[in-house]
Structure 1
Amino acid sequence: MDKHKVLIVDDQNGIRILLMEVFSSEGYETYQAANGKIALDIVRKHEPDLVLLDMKIPGMDGLEILKHIKQMNPDIKVIMMTAYGELDMIKEATDLGALMHFTKPFDIDEMRLAVNMQLKNKTNTCS
């Protein structure tokens, strides 16, 4: 069985490194992107199973990236990472198909559980 793929999109290097370490150690193949353009290239090439997507990214913001991801592949699961107080954007993200959101600074164990729940409880259907 192929490893599940997780893409981390955040303009903060420290957060990307932290999340990549956590999810690599969980046995996922991890990718990272600092902006929307790189993120969408990775989605196109590698088709991640799940994207951890920061709401506030210079250039193309999280909502825009989310729209593009869902247009490319509606099956990709997306979890948003938000700063405090972006509630209006969270509602819009949910309407666009994001599963849930974590407010920064988030609890890394909670996020790990959420990702594992989304990816490991998925019944594997061969397409």
Structure 2
Amino acid sequence: MKVLVVDDTKNIRMLLTTCLELYGYEVVTAVDGLDALNAIQTSTPDLIFLDIKLPEISGTEVLRRIRSSGIITPVVIMTAFATVKNAIECTKLGAVAYLQKPFTADKVKTVINELINRTASVENSTEVNIKICKALIEDGELNESYILLKKQLAIDPTNGEVYFLIALLYDKKGNKEEAHRFYNIAKQFQY
């Protein structure tokens, strides 16, 4: 798993790099927003630790640009100056956690473990919900299945099987145009 650490403070980059490498992660670092955007373009990381206050381009703007380009990599925001406004803005842009500076190696480990547990929980709920939807479709409960699939899509928008099942529902309802559109989306997610 590749992690990008973006901070203009060398000590923070070194602390995070050391912690993450000890946990078996491959770490790439960036010293400012432009450096971060270049690193992301070169090779999309699996996780990003992003400082809010950066020279040139702020961390919030980096996050905004990442999301506007369609990259859904989880982002952990790091800040010494946590404000409610920043928290709300970054959460709306999809930040998954916050690290308040200064932080310890233990706090980094806690954040990583929380992310791993959250990911496992989403994967488990996705699997269960898909099984329920398939059973509902088999029983002819198309509307109930559709409602559950839409909720699942909000939780896990990169799951090709969810798009496939929505396409199947549209197909069964006779809406060939929407069915075709969702089948194509499912293919884009290698399903």
Q: What range is the shorter-chain TM-score in?
A: 0.7 to 0.9
Aligned-CA RMSD value: 2.0
Alpha-carbon separation, structure 1, partners of 2:70 and 2:17 = 22
Question: What residue in structure 2 maps to residue 55 of structure 1?
Answer: 52
Number of corresponding residues: 123
Superposed, 1:20-59 pairs within 5 Å as 20-59=17-56
Provide the rounded CA distance (Å) in 2 between the counterparts of 1:81 and 1:55. 6
Shift in alpha-carbon separation, 1:116–1:85, aligned structure 2, 3 A: closer
User: Judging changes above 3 Å, is the alpha-carbon distance between structure 1 residues 17 and 96 closer, same or farther for their aligned structure 2 residues?
Assistant: same
Gaps of 5+ in 2: 124-158, 160-188
Distance 2:109 2:69 in 1: 25
1:116 is displaced (CA, Å) by 3.7
AA partner of residue 35 (structure 1): D
Q: How far 1:50 sits from its partner (Å)?
A: 0.7
8 Å contact 1:12–1:34 — kept in the other structure? Answer: yes
Q: Higher relative contact order at CA 8 Å, sep ≥6: structure 1 or structure 2?
A: 1
The two structures have a TM-score, normalised by structure 2, of 0.59
The percent of aligned pairs where both chains have the same amino acid is: 34
Q: Which has the larger radius of gyration?
A: 2
The amino acid of 1:49's aligned partner reads: D
Three-state SS of the structure 2 residue aligned to 1:99 is: strand
Do the aligned partners of 1:81 and 1:101 also contact (CA within 8 Å) in 2? yes
* 1:1-127 matched pairs, under 5 angstroms: 4-119=1-116, 121-122=119-120
C-alpha distance in 1 between matches for 2:82 and 2:4: 24
Is contact 2:51-2:77 (8 Å) kept? yes
Residues 84-127 of structure 1, C-alpha deviation per residue, up to 9 Å, x if partnerless? Answer: 3433111111111101211111232122222244247555x995
Aligned partners of 2:14, 2:110: CA distance in 1, in Å?
Answer: 18
TM-score of the aligned structures, taking structure 1 as reference length: 0.85
Moved over 4 A (4+): 119-123
Q: Does structure 2 retain, via aligned residues, the 8 Å contact 1:49–1:119?
A: no
More strand per residue: 1
